Amino acid sequence: MLRTLLVPLDGSALAERALPIACDIGRRTGGIVHLVRTHVPVAVVGATAEGAIFSQDMLAADDALRKRAAQYTEQIGTRLAAEWGLKVQWHAEDGTPAGVITDVAERIGADLVVMTTHGAGGFTPGWLGSVADSVIRHSHRPVLALPENDAHLGEPFTPRRILVTLDGSPRAETIIPVARDLAVAYGAHLELIRVVAPYVPGDSLDILAQERPDPFGVDEETVQAKASLDRIAADLERAGVKTTATVRVELAPTRTLLDHVRETDPDCLAIATQGRGISRIFLGSVADKLIRAAERPVLVLRPPKG
């Protein structure tokens, strides 16, 4: 279950928009919410007497910023504990933001990292755009990415439909238990979707000329994909989660998924990212495009290799 939750903060209002979502999940699961704030130390080198004076001033300023970051995190944590009736812990550590978040997530055994990200890119004084991207790419902990371009960000997070994207690989299916736990917490409906992308070899005309049914094996793969999704759906139904399965046959998997999102309007997406690999759908790039273009929360997991 999603009982150990982590929210990275950078002092911005955008980052704080993840707090009520994490707290609501924690309240539903009887969990604990951890806050983490990173202080990036100032690199100071003073080779001359003047430089040494400058260095002392910079070190004093750096220490003041460190204390301010710790006080900010403590104040937020104290307020959340009182407002939500939750157990809240906070961490203020030196280092690089993505590194600290990933380390703390591993150390506390985070079931879910909840963080905002700049879905459409762009520059802001905060760091959560690039940091969220780095955390998703390097952590093996599930991340609920809340894009800045989500029209409902800031409103209560009450997912009723979660779209789970699969590609037939075991690695892709590692997202299922996390999506199931989120669905259980909210009584949500899961829709499993798999896009079968026809393989088009160089000499298509030769194969077509053989006059055999299903020359590219698309029909067979589609049947197998539907059977696989139905088995997964049956397991989820037995666990008490209402589940449906959809298979679509298209040449462009990412565009098809985005079209499906626009057509069906799920409240949240769920996907495992694995970068480039043997999968017919490169879930690394697909996940990246979904986070940036779907305009809604995306539950992402990069499973360990194995």
pLDDT digits (tens, 9 = 90+) for 25-62: 999 999 999 999 998 887 644 555 555 555 677 788 88
Name the CATH superfamily, with its identifier, for domain 4-147: HUPs (3.40.50.620)
Going from N- to C-terminal start, the domains of the chain cover 4-147, 161-294
The mean per-residue pLDDT over the stretch 269-275 comes to: 81
DSSP symbols for 288-305: HHHHHHS-S-EEEE-PPP
Q: Write down the architecture of domain 161-294 according to CATH.
A: 3-Layer(aba) Sandwich (3.40)
pLDDT at 107 over 60: yes
Q: Do 241 and 179 meet the contact criterion of CB atoms below 8 Å apart? A: no
Q: pTM for this one? A: 0.85
In a 10 Å sphere around its CB, with 0-12 CB exposed, 13-18 middle and 19+ buried, how is residue 53 labelled? exposed
Of the candidates 181, 161, 153, 136, the one whose C-alpha atom is nearest the C-alpha of residue 29 is: 181
Do the strands 243-249 and 87-94 form a parallel or antiparallel pair, or are they unpaired? unpaired
Number of C-beta neighbours around residue 240 at 10 A: 10
Instruction: Give the pLDDT score at 214.
Output: 45
* Equal CATH topology for 4-147 and 161-294: yes
> Is the separation of the CB atoms in 23 and 112 below 8 Å?
no
CB 37 within 8 A of CB 70: yes
The region of weakest confidence among 76-90, 197-211, 264-278 is 197-211
pLDDT at 54: 54
Q: At residue 209, does pLDDT exceed 80?
A: no
